Structure 1
Amino acid sequence: MHQQGQSKSEPEIGVEGSDGKEDEITEMIHCEGLDGEEDVITEDFRIVELGKSIRKGDWNAVKQFFVFDKHPLDTIIEGYTALHFAILAGKYEIAEELIMMMSETDLERKTAWNVGGHTALTLVATTGITHLARCLVGRNRSLLRIGNDQGHIPVTAACAVGHKEMTYYLYSVTPPEVFLPQNGRHGSDLMWAGIDNKIFVKEIYDLKLTHLRVREILRFMCDYISTLKVKSLLNCGVVDAMFEATKQGIVEFVVELLKVSQPFIFRDNDGRHVFMIAIEYRQENIFSLLYGIHGGWKAYILNQTDGDGNNMLHLAGELAPSSQLDRFSSPALQMQTELQWFKEVERIVPEWCKESKNKNGQTPYELLSRSHAELVRACERWIGDAASSFTLVSTLIMTITFAAVITLPGGNAQDGFPNFLQKRSFMTFIVSDAISFITALTSVLVFWRFLLSPVSHGDGSVFSSKKLIILLSISLISAAAMTVSFSAALLIILQHRRWAIIPIIVMACIPVLFFVWLQFPFLVEMYLLTFARGVSFDRKMKPWL
């Protein structure tokens, strides 16, 4: 039987699942002594026929066998049950049918010791067939706790061979107490297997389960890590895992490992420490840990450069990964966050970093300008398109509200005053119309200014997001005021037909509500980013290192 997914720090744990190729399955079974009648002369003929039926995928023949011989747990050959054999042969439909026929106790039976001592679930875990694992867990949840002869429970078996979906599922259903140190090495085995196979805990956190098990796993690992030398850490993959955790923003993992072994804060293949990686991947939660470090450690971190001569401000000047930029809905917001990152790093680095040049002869400000040139152009195009669109809308509103004042509802009396001057609804009409006209005119004038102004970025200043927020707000107010003015005019004209007023007003509000629905989320996002919180740097971080 083939073995794969061997951990760097643990022995091999399982078998390779079927990939659907019949020749490979046949070869695997042949290697285990399961192929052909010549190798099984001493075996019962009917069991040999059962094995052939399973390999062919003939469920009717398999089912007929159990009608006469109700022993699904009888071994086929060399320790395999019918269920194990079906899993190895890749006949998962037959395996699922057999699972439904078997009792909870039957499902806990293992293969023989010389073929790994696997339960059906540990074997399925190594194949990556998640729906079959769900079927087994649904029948007997105790299988989640039962390990193979190497002591690997299903979730660690799946993780060790690199099946992400299977690992996440089994982790989500495995009882948390299984991973506690007092119950064995399952927690540390899972973490080590995840490190080896790049199945990281970010996705496990996303399951929104208790963090107790992860913290206990980390504590168990750290007890072991603390006994190793730095060179051993570099060789066992822990450092790579720490930097992967930094890229994904997993604070708990980074904190625990940094507490155990401070020296490898400053070690990676490119000469970048954890906080440089945090800046590069725009992980503000990891970067904020820097505020909890004081004294010589912090000064040492801030003065470091990488292998290309980049200091921390250079990295802040580089363009963020697309995965981070895509979190924001427009180039304007993307540029806003980039500038906030640059200014935050600029605030804390030593003065020499601001004029330092890397190996390409670039200062941080030059790198910021060059790396963000395309984003700036996209931002200018976006602002130009937005300004043009809002200018058109504001112009239409301004035209309509101006015409409404000239042709007042109800007309004028012989003395020149409006006929309905004394009515409250008329005053509502006049005031709201005036507000709509003035705000629309303001929007038009200032949006023209936007069309003529470039985006400022070279000096790190916030380009014009505050003005844009104000203008978008004014445009929304203008549209809302126009609707109020229209409703008031209807109330005046149809004062004797009030039954028709409400439906018309509701219909008139629909376009404005649609306009607000389209623009309001962006407005809120930009407001929060600019005025309320910006990028969430925690400058009040308590000392932790």
Structure 2
Amino acid sequence: MHQPGQSESKPEIGVGRSDGKEDKITEMTHYEESGRGEEDEMTEDSSLVELRKSICNGDWNAVRLFFVFGNHPLDTIILSNEGSTALHVAILAAQYKIAEHLIEMMSETDLEKKTASNSGCHTALTLVAMTGRTHVAKCIVQKNNKLLTIESDQGFIPVTAACAKGHKEMTNYLYAVTPPDVLLSQNGRYGFDLLKEGMDKKILVQSLWNCGVADAMFEATKQGIVEFVVELLKVTQPLIFHNDDRRHVFMIAIQYRQENIFNLLYSINEEWRAHFLNQTDRNGNNILHVAGEMAPPSRLARVSSPVLQMQRELQWFKEVERIVPEWCKESKNNNGETPSEVFSNSHEKLVKEGEKWIRDTASSFIVVGTLIITIAFAAAITLPGGNAQNGFPNFSPGRPLAMFITLNAISFFTASTSVLIFLGILASRFAQEDFLEYLPELLGLLVYTILISIMAMMASFFAAVLIILQHRRWVIISITMIAIVPVTFVGRLRFHLLFEILFSTHAKGIPFNRKKGALAVVGRKLIEFFGT
């Protein structure tokens, strides 16, 4: 049994450490399911075999006769290899009425009986917590509330077991009756586990103080779970100010590029906003210094290329720069760096990667553009069917010929434009500010012109076929169907990059919500908390 005063075996508290909890939850589930309808190695006593069958079949009269008239102890072991008592079997077999009757008959000591070590050493209350049957848990707690703090081999107590299984009502009930000191951070990691599992299962336990709530709140901020953060801020107001590095929630949101959390900053009143914007962390970094730091790799990976990654980083920095006081822009941290210097130093490698990527990409496009120029120029001076002695085309002028000439000209001039854009990219200085709009726009124009030239080239080929084989429709239809394949492939391959560039550059890929009062429901809740 866990004793709050014992500290020699106390596990360490830490954010982001699972300590195998996921595997333990799987073990809990496996044991819970294996106990229902699956007869393991049974004891050789035929009367106990019959008792198990009676429990599983819901025959309370047979169970009562066994204990009352058979004078058997209520902690009788039914399964030799799992150590289950009659109460354990009833719970695992979902025979909750029988379980309630057995609880009434059992003593406090009987209820403390655990399953065997190979089954997790669960008490009856822990098993009930995993089933979500709150009324059965209440019966057990009324009889013996010591079970609330008895730990299983996997490190669970009833309230954390219920939360890990996702039972909201059971979790809230057990939290209300569990001794508060058991959840204190100095007495183990139960409080942190409760909040961590609650965050994963979207279960919020209200009024949690000094039990790892700060760790859980900052963990939720890192993951962008805005609803959880808002509710935690409501019940833990003092913990909004800083973590161990003296960074408040909005600094953490910027550090991990969580725009949904950052947008809450627009919903609070001017006094609170000024308070957060004027805070510095332990190293003298203000909120703009934090925006100048490199984003975590997991957030950068959400954008496909180094160019757009650098653009996203600049968008974050410019947005935070827009709202901070003037003094923040030139303020120096403990290393003597201004926010701009922090940004330049931390993103130096990304700038080089972006330059190399855009040069390589543009070079691959320009090879295609050069080939198209050559083909289009040759097609312009060598019309389908050739020319007569007078210099006019052998085929009579008409719509197909005009379409061929027009499409071929479009292909030629768009490919030529792509070459000029490529020269513009090569002549760029590749400064940090160029990655915000200039370079992405050039790259977008390059992709756009290449796509147009390829499609126009293929359409002009179709027009040439139409001129030559104008009386053979089945051939024309067949060629058209075949032409759809490369057009679809090219479009799928390159239109994605084009749309991503356009969205990130012109549609402002980061959904910063600057309009006060236009936020979602969670934003309005935070407005109510801080005042308007």
What TM-score results when the alignment is normalised by the length of structure 1?
0.70
Do residues 386 (structure 1) and 361 (structure 2) align? yes
Secondary structure at the aligned position of 2:401 is classed as helix
In 2, the alpha carbon distance for the partners of 1:540 and 1:7 equals: 52
Equivalent pair of 1:369/1:458 in contact (CA under 8 Å)? no
Give 1:82's match in structure 2, choosing from 78, 83, 88. 78
In 2, the alpha carbon distance for the partners of 1:447 and 1:145 equals: 72
Cα displacement (A) at 1:188? 12
Partner AA of 2:493 in structure 1: L
1:476 corresponding residue in structure 2: 451
Do residues 532 (structure 1) and 507 (structure 2) align? yes
1:335 corresponding residue in structure 2: 310
1:381/1:459 CA distance change after superposition, 3 Å: closer
Do residues 517 (structure 1) and 517 (structure 2) align? no
In 2, the alpha carbon distance for the partners of 1:460 and 1:404 equals: 38
Equivalent pair of 1:313/1:345 in contact (CA under 8 Å)? yes
2:408 corresponding residue in structure 1: 433
Do residues 185 (structure 1) and 176 (structure 2) align? yes
1:427/1:204 CA distance change after superposition, 3 Å: farther
Cα displacement (A) at 1:204? 2.4
Do residues 195 (structure 1) and 196 (structure 2) align? no
Superposed, which structure 2 residues align to 1:92-241 within 5 Å?
113-114=108-109, 116=111, 143=133, 146-147=136-137, 149=141, 150=145, 161=156, 170-171=165-166, 174=167, 185=176, 193=190, 195-196=192-193, 199-205=196-202, 214=203, 217-218=204-205, 221=206, 224=207, 233=209, 235-241=210-216
In 1, the alpha carbon distance for the partners of 2:161 and 2:493 equals: 40
Partner AA of 1:82 in structure 2: I
1:60/1:326 CA distance change after superposition, 3 Å: closer
Partner AA of 2:465 in structure 1: L
1:367 corresponding residue in structure 2: 342
RMSD: 4.6
In 2, the alpha carbon distance for the partners of 1:448 and 1:362 equals: 36
In 2, the alpha carbon distance for the partners of 1:82 and 1:294 equals: 64
1:264 corresponding residue in structure 2: 239
Cα offsets for 1:240-291 (capped at 9, x unmatched):
2221221111222222333345443222211111111111111111111111
Equivalent pair of 1:160/1:197 in contact (CA under 8 Å)? no
Moved more, 408-417 or 276-285: 408-417
Cα displacement (A) at 1:4? 10
In 2, the alpha carbon distance for the partners of 1:345 and 1:62 equals: 67
1:114/1:336 CA distance change after superposition, 3 Å: farther
Q: Where does the alignment leave 5 or more consecutive residues of structure 2 unmatched?
A: 8-19, 25-33, 56-65, 185-189, 518-526
Cα displacement (A) at 1:417? 2.3
Superposed, which structure 2 residues align to 1:478-493 within 5 Å?
478-493=453-468
In 2, the alpha carbon distance for the partners of 1:152 and 1:396 equals: 78
Cα displacement (A) at 1:295? 2.8
Give 2:430's match in structure 1, choosing from 455, 458, 469. 455
Equivalent pair of 1:158/1:166 in contact (CA under 8 Å)? no
Cα displacement (A) at 1:502? 2.2
1:293 corresponding residue in structure 2: 268
What TM-score results when the alignment is normalised by the length of structure 2?
0.71
Query: How many residues are aligned here?
Result: 454
1:260/1:60 CA distance change after superposition, 3 Å: closer
Q: Where does the alignment leave 5 or more consecutive residues of structure 1 unmatched?
A: 9-15, 21-53, 90-94, 128-132, 206-213, 226-232
1:257/1:198 CA distance change after superposition, 3 Å: closer
Partner AA of 1:426 in structure 2: L
1:202/1:341 CA distance change after superposition, 3 Å: farther
Moved more, 362-371 or 491-500: 491-500
Cα offsets for 1:24-82 (capped at 9, x unmatched):
xxxxxxxxxxxxxxxxxxxxxxxxxxxxxx9xxx9786397669942226899872643
In 2, the alpha carbon distance for the partners of 1:360 and 1:516 equals: 49
Partner AA of 1:517 in structure 2: R
In 2, the alpha carbon distance for the partners of 1:81 and 1:417 equals: 105
In 2, the alpha carbon distance for the partners of 1:163 and 1:184 equals: 9
In 1, the alpha carbon distance for the partners of 2:237 and 2:377 equals: 69
